[in-house]
Amino acid sequence: MKLAALAFASLFILFTVAFSASYQGVDFTAPAGWKSEPAEGAMGFVPSDVTPETATVLVVGPAESLSGQSFESWLEKKLSDDLLGGAKLLQTSEITTQKQENTTRATLARVIQDAEGIATIRLYHAVTDGRNATIALAMSVSEDAAGKYTGAIRSFFESMMISGSSPRPFQSTATGITGKGERVPEAAMISGTPHGMFVGRSLLTGKSVCLLFLSGGRITRAIPEGGLDSFDWAKHQANHSGDCGKWEMSNSKLRINWGDGGTHEGPLTVTSNGIEFYGKRYAKPSSVQVSALAGRWESSRGTAQWGGEGINQTHTLTIGADGSFHWEAGGGGVVSGRAVYQETRNLNGKLQIAGSTMIFHGEDGSVESYTFAPVPGDPIVAFSLGSNMFTRVQEQ
């Protein structure tokens, strides 16, 4: 069965048959307001307000036996079917997986151009219980169309289960896990939907902040500690409950319900180097070599960024082209009319960059890891190191 062929044939058909919660061994919750109709070898869904400009269709296939093959091999074959008949793969995301007990999910996005030159955005979601597997495809004719129905598509994907499988929530993981946790995908806008971590700076405190978009509608505005290759969501949420929440996209608008009870809702705008939301810009981190950071960097954050009483924490980081570093830090300010200052760090050593992690090997034998997010630019003039935003004050 070629899901894309069935979906494309259905793009301009308005289905009229009533909602169904199960199809040939697959349980799901159909999107509210969408109409459905069984097609040959699949079940299709189309929004009731669909137009030629926003043409979008959802198709889910029946549960199939893996017959001893791996889920990965089965999925690879299904995806390869979409590239038959002269179709070209124009863009693809990494495959992200979710696992709990005997159930595994896999999700990815691709842009494919068919033999007639028509390009469509295709979102795939596959589910297996280790014995049987199914795959669903959401196909849209444009980014605006995909963005309009993102929330409904995501909810449909998350509701899919092999009949008889455990309905309990999933703990998200991703391909390439090293140890406990999940690998956060690289920051990107795919089909009008944000993925990964975008970084900004609080104008009030000088602290690094972020919008980190994860699967399953999870989001945090607190910079994770220790890098993004093995991110422990449960631990992070426990430590930053008010700064974690749920997000959804609809018609290019982002809505976030935060753990502290607040809600942010408004248009999400793509900028030259990241995104803008709720009047604040967030940069997509770039990739750099240690040598590009050679020079002196400073960071300041605290409660007296704009004068008056309070304490600021300042950091000065001098980096050599060979990765050598000298890191000084201290806290000071005015409290009850008295000036105070305390040195908190004076460390030398060598640093290394491993993806989104900066690791400091101190001469005293200490080893510390921080989430590292350079702000795009040539040369690099700022980077986030954990919750500290460093700006360049002197080149080497």
Average pLDDT over residues 248-276: 93
Q: Is 261 left (phi over 0), alpha (psi -120 to 50) or beta?
A: left
CATH number at residue 24: 3.40.1000.10
Q: Helices 71-81 and 3-10 meet at what angle, rounded to 10?
A: 40
In this predicted model, what pLDDT tens digit does every residue of 13-69 receive, in sequence order?
333 333 445 788 888 888 877 887 666 678 888 888 878 778 888 889 899 999 889
Question: Are 154 and 219 members of one domain?
Answer: no
Question: Are 390 and 255 members of one domain?
Answer: no
In this predicted model, what pLDDT tens digit does every residue of 99-116 receive, in sequence order?
766 788 888 888 888 888
Question: Are 302 and 278 members of one domain?
Answer: no
Whether 121 has a pLDDT exceeding 80, the answer reads yes
Min mean pLDDT across 48-57, 132-141, 248-257 is at: 48-57
Q: pTM score > 0.75 for this model?
A: no
**In the chain, what are the helix, strand and coil shares in percent, each to the nearest 5?**
15, 50, 35
Whether 305 has a pLDDT exceeding 50, the answer reads no
Average pLDDT over residues 363-370: 89
What pLDDT is recorded for position 39?
63
Determine, yes or no, domain membership for 179. no
Determine, yes or no, domain membership for 180. no
Q: Is 24 left (phi over 0), alpha (psi -120 to 50) or beta?
A: left
Question: The domain containing residue 326 runs over which residues?
Answer: 290-395
Question: Are 254 and 351 members of one domain?
Answer: no
What pLDDT is recorded for position 26?
87
What pLDDT is recorded for position 248?
94
Contact 127, 175 (CB under 8 A): no
d(CA 192, CA 194): 7
Report residue 33: phi and psi, to 5°: 85, -5
What pLDDT is recorded for position 145?
75
What pLDDT is recorded for position 335?
47
Q: Could you tell me how far CA 163 lies from the centroid of its own chain?
A: 29
Pick the last residue of a domain from 172, 201, 231: 172
d(CA 77, CA 61): 14
Determine, yes or no, domain membership for 262. yes
Question: Are 314 and 258 members of one domain?
Answer: no
Pick the last residue of a domain from 283, 305, 324: 283
Question: Are 65 and 166 members of one domain?
Answer: yes
Min mean pLDDT across 60-69, 162-171, 182-191, 316-325 is at: 162-171
Q: Residue ranges of the alpha helices (H) in the chain?
A: 3-10, 71-81, 143-148, 150-159, 233-239
* 212: helix, strand or coil: strand
Q: How many domains does the chain have?
A: 3
- Most confident range (mean pLDDT) of 164-173, 326-335, 369-378 is 369-378
